[in-house]
Structure 1
Amino acid sequence: MTGTIEAKSLTLSYGNSIIINNLDLSIPVGEVTILIGSNGCGKSTLLRSIARLLKPSEGSILLDGKNVFKLTNKQVAKELSILPQSPVAPEGLTVLQLVKQGRYPHQSWHSQWSQEDEEIVMNALKSTGVEHLKDKPIEELSGGQRQRAWIAMTLAQNTDIILLDEPTTYLDLTHQIEILDLLYKLNKQQKRTIIMVLHDINLACRYADYIITVRNQTVYKKGKPEDIITKSLVKNVFDLESEIINDPIFGTPMCIPYGKGRGIIKGEAVLNGVASY
């Protein structure tokens, strides 16, 4: 099977600080996988290593069975693309110019810009709904439009695997849903493997086929949202008391937190049958 990603005995460090320790992991092919966990737990670090941006202290990342750090930049860029947190484009760069950058791994001195490149770029613009903005400078776009433009660039790279680090950061709720709907659609229609980091556990449950929770430098639990998201998991991973109910629209797990202040008081009032507020 192509497009497989595995971590074998993986240890990741920044200086002397170990972030991920002796982790083994296999990412489902052709599904939406979402990494969740508390701030600083290492989920973004793990994503960076999968994307070949952070070399392991020990162990390996395997792409189709090959050590990703023994492949060339272009070999990796033809297999997977990554959208980092808060990417920055040069001033004045238009949407079209940005999306064309995704074709860089496919260019060489004997293989210049082709009709196929042009068609892939235009399809990426169309798929992400920014075709009408192609001549606009990136800095003139709204947050949601800008994120769609960056996703279009990753699509133009034409990889089977797309990695995204918190793609909904700084977006309002409407644009968060638009971006996640878009990624879900790309996965279901084009069968691309999508791996992303999200902070919102309820959105993760709604959009993920597979969730990986990171805690204490390794994977705490992994699996389908309905199989692993429990009160106990939320307490152990996020140190938060909660109730887990079914999302009334999608039927996926929904976390209702008590909090540590007003939430506790109101939660106790509800449990005691008090509804005077």
Structure 2
Amino acid sequence: MSSIQAKNLTLSYGQKEIFNQLDLLVPSGQITVLIGSNGCGKSTLLRSLARLLKPQEGSILLDGTEIAKLSSKEIARRLAILPQGPLAPEGLTVHQLVKQGRYPYQSWLQQWTREDERMVNRALEVTHMKELSSLSIDSLSGGQRQRAWIAMTLAQNTPTILLDEPTTYLDMSHQIEILDLLFDLNGQEKRTIVMVLHDINLACRYADHIVAVKDGHIHAQGKPEVIMTEQLIREVFGMACQMTVDPIFGTPLCIPHGKGRSLKDSHSK
């Protein structure tokens, strides 16, 4: 299992400071979900954990080593990141895309191996993309494309996977399909998974650990059943709600206040 930690982290975009002196410890072998309102810095924080954004101050530790001191290939062997809305070159097939995940293991001395082929085939099988491997990425549905990109990250065979809003633009059935896949990967292989999600209820259903971000700091973090309260939703999202228990999964369920059909029906009587 892999560990990732931020210490005294200060991040900025241009002149705008996003986080100041932030500390974060991601639990190893668990699913951590970052939540918060739009623009609160969730994606910025995720990108910094993958060394895609250089901090002004502080450090990111990967398995106890400062990530800034590691080579790009060494990081890519330990950590895979799937950004939001990735784009593939036109005409690239699923198989060709997934093979890109083996790049960190290639060198002048070590070219394509049986192990590389095994990891690519395994990633295609786990994501149920084997039968679609010869198709171009352009021809796939949204859910299939997302599975193809996840297959690429799996081919990297890293202990840690970071995903920025992996369910964006997908319909409900494909959202559940993707999250179930990640849930199984975590349960069966103890991969450390960190992802940004907008849907509060899906975050509660799939996360072992939730980090609620607000105004450049961590407002709360912990197990969903402990921290996800009506007060937290009001403070982080500015929304009134009722928290109850999901009747199927037993996880926290957020029911937002607002106008709905029952109110419309009462007005029509």
Which TM class, normalised by the smaller chain length? Answer: over 0.9
| Runs (4+) off by over 3 Å | 263-267, 274-277
Distance 2:222 2:121 in 1: 36
Q: Which residue of 1 aligns with 2:79?
A: 80
Q: Which residue of 1 aligns with 2:30?
A: 31
Distance 2:227 2:98 in 1: 37
Distance 2:31 2:40 in 1: 21
Preserved contact between residue 242 and residue 257 of structure 1 (Cα < 8 Å): yes
SS of residue paired to 2:89 = coil
Following superposition, the deviation at residue 198 of structure 1 comes to 0.2
Q: Which residue of 1 aligns with 2:256?
A: 257
Distance 2:213 2:53 in 1: 18
Q: Is residue 230 of structure 1 aligned with residue 229 of structure 2?
A: yes
Following superposition, the deviation at residue 16 of structure 1 comes to 1.1
- Gapped runs of 5+ residues in structure 1? none
Q: Is residue 193 of structure 1 aligned with residue 186 of structure 2?
A: no
Q: Which residue of 2 aligns with 1:108?
A: 107
Q: 1:276 to 1:256 in 2, by over 3 A?
A: farther
SS of residue paired to 1:103 = helix
Following superposition, the deviation at residue 64 of structure 1 comes to 1.0
Following superposition, the deviation at residue 265 of structure 1 comes to 9.0
Q: Deviations over 1:133-177 (max 9, x none)?
A: 000000000000000000000000000000000000000111001
Preserved contact between residue 163 and residue 194 of structure 1 (Cα < 8 Å): yes
Following superposition, the deviation at residue 266 of structure 1 comes to 3.8
Alignment root-mean-square deviation, CA: 1.7
Equivalent residues, number: 269
TM-score (norm: length of structure 2) = 0.97
- Tell me the amino acid that sits aligned with residue 246 of structure 1: V
Q: Percent identity?
A: 63
Q: Is residue 146 of structure 1 aligned with residue 145 of structure 2?
A: yes
Preserved contact between residue 84 and residue 164 of structure 1 (Cα < 8 Å): yes
- Gapped runs of 5+ residues in structure 2? none
Distance 1:264 1:124 in 2: 44
SS of residue paired to 2:168 = coil
Q: Deviations over 1:21-46 (max 9, x none)?
A: 11101000000100000000001000
Distance 2:262 2:141 in 1: 39
